[in-house]
Amino acid sequence: MPILFFTHEIKFTLKQKSLLKPWIENVLKQHKKKLNSLTYVFCSDDYLLEINQGFLQHDFYTDIITFDYSSKTEVESEIYISIDRVKENASVLKVPFEQELHRVMVHGVLHLCGMKDKTKAQQADMRAEEDKQLKQLKSKKAKTK
């Protein structure tokens, strides 16, 4: 039985979990991946910085770190998301917090599906796929109202 778990290291409440779970599972399915176990950990900048320094030897803030333990077809991962970074990015980009949070959440999933974002072309492909998946989520939200 697949496990999709949301937890937090800070005071934070994820809204619309009942919509997000099937959405994430559908993204994986579209990319020919099967969910085994995926845990999202919502945390602070400082918490994620410690992970970035300790595991990746990077000394900078980031919005997301994805640890991928997957096999070729089955996804098993931990995704850490800094709520501080997401809030700041949403403000800078002038988008709602929830929209930016969902973008970051699906960004991690797309990495698990094999998408990269090192080159400009890869970044453009990643952004296009994020937008496509966010549009599908928005459509699901509209149907539940």
Which residues contact residue 74 at a Cβ distance below 8 angstroms, ignoring those fewer than 6 apart?
33, 34, 35, 36
* CATH classification at residue 83: 3.40.390.30
Q: Give the pLDDT band of residue 145 (cuts 50, 70, 90).
A: low
In this predicted model, what pLDDT tens digit does every residue of 100-123 receive, in sequence order? 999 999 999 999 999 999 999 999
Instruction: Write down the pLDDT at residue 10.
Output: 93
The model carries a pTM of: 0.94
Contact of 41 with 78, CB cutoff 8 Å: yes
- Give 79's DSSP letter: E
Instruction: Say whether 52 sits in a helix, a strand or coil.
Output: helix
- Please count the structural domains in the chain: 1
In this predicted model, what pLDDT tens digit does every residue of 83-96 receive, in sequence order? 999 999 999 999 99
Domain hosting residue 86, numbered range:
3-144
d(CA 111, CA 69): 12
